[in-house]
């Protein structure tokens, strides 16, 4: 049996290292796929208001792979949706600043939603404006900010912001409903009725939105707007 020559041994060693490198790359790719699938599952749970189950899955995710930015964002969203606002705010704030500040739009949006839940509309305006500044294509942030502007009696900012959301979203039902509400509050009944017809609202839905508009008007009167 002939001995392996030094050049052959070097080639064998190089091939072995390449195989190990490919195995490591495959392992990393597999882990990333598993993590992404788990996070997509959790995101679906949060969107479908199964936030408590989402929190349990996030505990399992963190236990297996450790927490990261996407899992923290989802945890904050789930905490907010389960009315654990103080904890949600802490997690959102942990995602602000640093090297990844450019990715902080969703965190600012979440903080804006926390402010809305607390009834702090001025705080919500500040945070939602920051969210849009960081992420100028966040349709939900435009929609919510437009509604908050409306509740604060800021007619033009509310309209302009809701129109941005409407054109970006190409007829999103929630955005259009907010525009109809704006029309009723500021007596643009043609726009409001056109939207109601396009969305095929029932008489009951129309009455509910009209009642909400009247409530906002009474709020303005009480504040002297």
Residue 194 has pLDDT above 90, yes or no: yes
Mean pLDDT across 19-41:
81
Q: What's the confidence (pLDDT) of residue 22?
A: 60
| 128 pLDDT tier (thresholds 50, 70, 90) | very high
Residue 220 has pLDDT above 70, yes or no: yes
Cα angle, residue 158 at apex, residues 157 and 160 outer, rounded to 5°: 65
Mean pLDDT across 107-136:
96
Higher pLDDT among residues 80 and 12, named by residue: 80
Q: What's the confidence (pLDDT) of residue 99?
A: 72
Higher pLDDT among residues 3 and 121, named by residue: 121
Share of the chain above pLDDT 70, in %: 89
**Ordered domains of the chain (ranges, CATH):** 37-136 (1.25.40.10), 147-219 (no CATH)
Give per-residue pLDDT as tens, 49-77.
999 999 999 999 999 999 999 999 999 99
Is 168 within 8 Å of 139 (Cβ atoms)?
Answer: yes
Residue 216 has pLDDT above 90, yes or no: yes
* Residue 164 token pair: 């941005």
pTM, to two decimals: 0.83
Mean pLDDT across 134-157:
95
| 18 pLDDT tier (thresholds 50, 70, 90) | low
> Angle formed by the axes of helices 139-151 and 121-134, to 10°?
150
Q: What's the confidence (pLDDT) of residue 170?
A: 84
| 27 pLDDT tier (thresholds 50, 70, 90) | confident
Q: What's the confidence (pLDDT) of residue 171?
A: 80
Summary mean pLDDT of the chain: 90
Residue 3 has pLDDT above 60, yes or no: no
C-beta neighbour count of 134 within 10 angstroms: 19
- SS3 per-residue string spanning the chain: CCCCCHHHHHHHHHHHHHHHHHHHHHHHHHHHHHHHHHHHHHHHHHHCCCHHHHHHHHHHHHHHHCCCHHHHHHHHHHHHHCCCHHHHHHHHHHCCCCCCHHHCHHHHHHHHHHHHHCCCHHHHHHHHHHHHHHCCCCHHHHHHHHHHHHHCCCHHHHHHHHHHHHHHHCCCHHHHHHHHHHHHHCCCHHHHHHHHHHCCCCHHHHHHHHHHHHHHHHHHHHHCC
Mean pLDDT across 196-212:
94
* Residue 138 token pair: 């966040």
Distance in angstroms (rounded) separating the CA atoms of residues 17 and 141: 50
Higher pLDDT among residues 168 and 224, named by residue: 168
Q: What's the confidence (pLDDT) of residue 224?
A: 75
């Amino acid at each position: 049996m002939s001995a392996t020559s030094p050049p052959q041994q070097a080639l064998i060693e190089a091939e072995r290292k390449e195989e190990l490198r490919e195995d490591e790359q495959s392992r990393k790719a597999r882990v990333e796929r598993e993590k992404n699938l788990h996070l997509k599952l959790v995101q679906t749970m949060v969107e479908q208001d199964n936030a408590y189950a989402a929190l349990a899955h996030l505990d399992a995710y963190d236990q297996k792979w450790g927490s990261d930015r996407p899992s923290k964002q989802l945890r904050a969203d789930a905490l907010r949706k389960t009315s654990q606002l103080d904890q949600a705010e802490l997690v959102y704030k942990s995602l602000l600043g640093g090297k990844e500040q450019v990715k902080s739009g969703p965190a600012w949006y979440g903080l804006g939603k926390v402010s809305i839940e607390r009834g702090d509309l001025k705080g919500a305006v500040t945070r939602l404006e920051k969210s849009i500044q960081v992420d100028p294509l966040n349709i939900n942030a435009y929609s919510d900010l437009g509604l908050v502007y409306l509740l604060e009696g800021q007619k033009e900012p509310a309209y302009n912001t809701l129109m941005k959301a409407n054109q970006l979203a190409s007829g999103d039902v929630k955005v259009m409903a907010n525009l109809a509400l704006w029309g009723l509050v500021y007596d643009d009944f043609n726009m409001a009725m056109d939207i109601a017809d396009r969305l095929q609202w029932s008489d009951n839905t129309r009455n509910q939105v009209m009642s909400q508009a009247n409530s906002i008007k009474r709020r303005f009167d009480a504040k002297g707007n």
